[in-house]
Structure 1
């Protein structure tokens, strides 16, 4: 392996000799810096979670309940460390995935989603575009220079907040497919916004002012059916028209009505034979139903604690689900089902622990948001490079030469006696 991810450490030190001052690699400090730079409402929107925020705290605490067991003299070379994984039938050089985050213009007005996509594409990390973007999906794909159908280089996935209107769903998925998005990520747990006091106490809902609805506002079906054929992005649009269009968009993306398992057949029909993963899976029974419905994987997540207060930490749900998914028999030539994990990932050790507990890929959200807020595309890139280097160094120094060597044997419970 050439160009190890851990080389970022040397890059920083050597750069320091010429007076280069990189963005902080302390991601907790980075959040505090972003908090000072952002408007209080924008910071609260990203940092906040549901109700008492116990689920978000639990996500972080769950990682602390597992300890990594380092082994020495294992013939480890960082230059040869193999961080490669296979997700949804494609090989990647690392297990990191950029999680979908909406309304990115509140973090960086000029570049928003495009900055994040470009940073991910450059590092060849799968980028997941939220339905709730500040820029249309086609523009983000083009700006990041993703290449349709290529097996190497950047890869874009599309996350769907499932509209109530099937015709709008068909239009959005058709556009995503045509643009070049390869994997469909269906978020199941956000059919209505959770109770989020940080936003409620300031009555902050960016969607009501036309933020985070670029994909819907640019959709021909939405324009025709919900805007009387008048594009809500046009120069002479009135404030009332924007409000009306925003309300209509919210009613589609967050309708207050949950879909059912039988509805997945429609998504398969609309998306075709491309990979589909269900995001928000927290139980073994839901994972089994996803497999029965012909899905290509599950995304174990509680939405970073933003939806259900008092829920189990996502990491606690991971081992049983991953064990089940990985035990499934496969026909000859059939790709294995993929397990993605998110919720509470803040450092390289967290990535390592999630992989040890069965994740194939590990998605990160909030940390790179703070990089975007501070330094745009460069800020996102630096956070992703920090996470990649931290993970590779942590795994290597613990005695592991590849992701494939990681497993439950590498961890002990914090309360166990060795």
Structure 2
């Protein structure tokens, strides 16, 4: 069970009497400000940036502001139970860590640190397909803490099957297929810097550690290729590729494999032709529960359930893919109304605080994925920073439940909210 909000407050205040302030701020605005200060321009553009003019990112937050919690008094909510049943497992809270790609922009071994921070709090982590550490190493860092695996559907079906098989071997509790990134969205912050982490070998560790991908790369490495024009930027990129590729730096620098790996990844990592026919094959390709991430339309949600998926993540990728898209929270309301109370719905995009988790659960989410905040915690204090962000979010959720009269997650219903009309 997560620490109660009162215990978390006591820990922070007791440290304060000794002159110690939290290394990781307890409010999102300060967390974001300090994380930005600790990050390079390229890292911040990729992690904090959004699609186009940023309207979807703003809309995600505005949607939360349109709902207000209505506290109920004298409910006797002395003890709260934050645990939930999800896909056959009992979890300590309705919070999971969302997959984040290229996290090493914010610090080395990002996925290992996030895995360790998640394990320290018993929080499930959805390992990223675009991670910077192989899934096997992350699973080892998590011990018995639940982990899921995110899958981007490659153009190579052999690679799809290989990634699924590896997810099964590491004991993943579910396979989370991201639907909304068959191509990268228009991201001006990255484009203005000419910065794509994958082009330097960051965020492709699941691929370079995969035997099928290695076979594909070996086939391509021996083929004639155009020699790049030698510039200072090209030399820096080659050095970055060699540093980020598994193995010894000097051996990588002399080898064609690091560059061939990057080029191969960029060619095949995601499939623009992904269709419902592809997705319908999953139930015979794996025994893992299948979760589809990126659903925003009720008709897509119904279609997903028709092909037998086990859960849906209502998400607009944190506003990173389509500018001027519907707010994910608004989509959650519509999808829940369309599919009814039984299907398992998860939610992400715009979640910053424990009060946000409360609101999303009240509007129909069975669980909530936390994205950027935990990566900001990592930027400030590594694995400890990740754990601190989780503890703060869960503490606020627990205190919000106490002050609103909800003793269990099941008691957080839509009746506890009012639309503000904003």
Q: Same fold (TM over 0.5)?
A: yes
Q: Which residue of 1 aligns with 2:125?
A: 127
Go from structure 1 to structure 2 and tell me whether the alpha carbon gap of 1:58 and 1:112 turns closer, same or farther (over 3 Å shift): same
Give yes or no for contact 1:157–1:181 (8 Å, CA) kept in 2: yes
Structure 1's consecutive aligned runs of 4 or more residues displaced over 4 angstroms after TM superposition are 229-232
Give the 3-state SS of the residue equivalent to 2:180 in structure 1: coil
1:226 and 2:217 aligned: yes
The alpha-carbon deviation at position 97 of structure 1 amounts to: 0.9
1:51 corresponds in structure 2 to 52
The answer to whether the aligner puts 1:400 opposite 2:399 as a matched pair is no
Equivalent pair of 1:209/1:242 in contact (CA under 8 Å) = no
Shift of 1:375: 0.5
Q: Does the 8 Å contact 1:196/1:306 carry over to 2?
A: yes
- Please state whether the residue corresponding to 1:86 is helix, strand or coil: strand
Does the CA contact (< 8 Å) of 2:296 and 2:315 recur in 1? yes
3-state SS of paired residue (1:82): coil
Q: Secondary structure at the match of 1:309?
A: coil
CA distance in 2, matches of 1:207, 1:243: 11
Matches within 5 A, 1:10-21: 10-21=10-21
Q: Show the counterpart of 1:251.
A: 267
Other structure's SS at 2:294 match: strand
Question: 1:131 touches 1:215 (CA, 8 Å); kept in 2?
Answer: yes
How has the CA–CA distance of structure 1 residues 2 and 102 changed in structure 2, closer, same or farther, with 3 Å as cutoff?
A: closer
Give the equivalent residue in structure 2 for 1:112.
Answer: 110
Describe the SS at the equivalent of 1:237: helix
Matched residues in 1 for 2:63 and 2:6: separation?
26
CA displacement 1:340-398 (0-9 Å, x = unmatched)? 00000011111111000000001110011111001000100100000000111112112
Counterpart of 2:35?
A: 34
Matched-pair contact (CA < 8 Å) for 1:371–1:382 = yes
Pick one of 290, 296, 315 that aligns with 1:276. 290
The question of whether the paired residues in 2 share the 8 Å contact of 1:174 and 1:270 is answered with no
Q: List alignment gaps of at least 5 residues for structure 2.
A: 222-241
Quote the RMSD (CA, aligned, Å): 1.8
- Any stretches of 5+ residues in structure 1 without a counterpart? 148-153, 329-336
Instruction: Give, in whole Å, the separation in 2 of the partners of 1:86 and 1:323.
Output: 21
Alignment of structure 1 residues 50-89 onto 2, 5 Å: 50-77=51-78, 80-89=79-88
Please tell me whether residue 91 in structure 1 is matched to residue 70 in structure 2. Answer: no
- What is the total number of aligned residue pairs between the two structures? 396
Cα deviation for residue 240 of structure 1 reads 5.5
| Aligned partner of residue 150 in structure 2, secondary structure | strand
Separation in 2 of the partners of 1:354 and 1:26? 19
CA positional deviation for 1:4: 2.3
State which of 332, 340, 346 in structure 2 corresponds to 1:318: 332
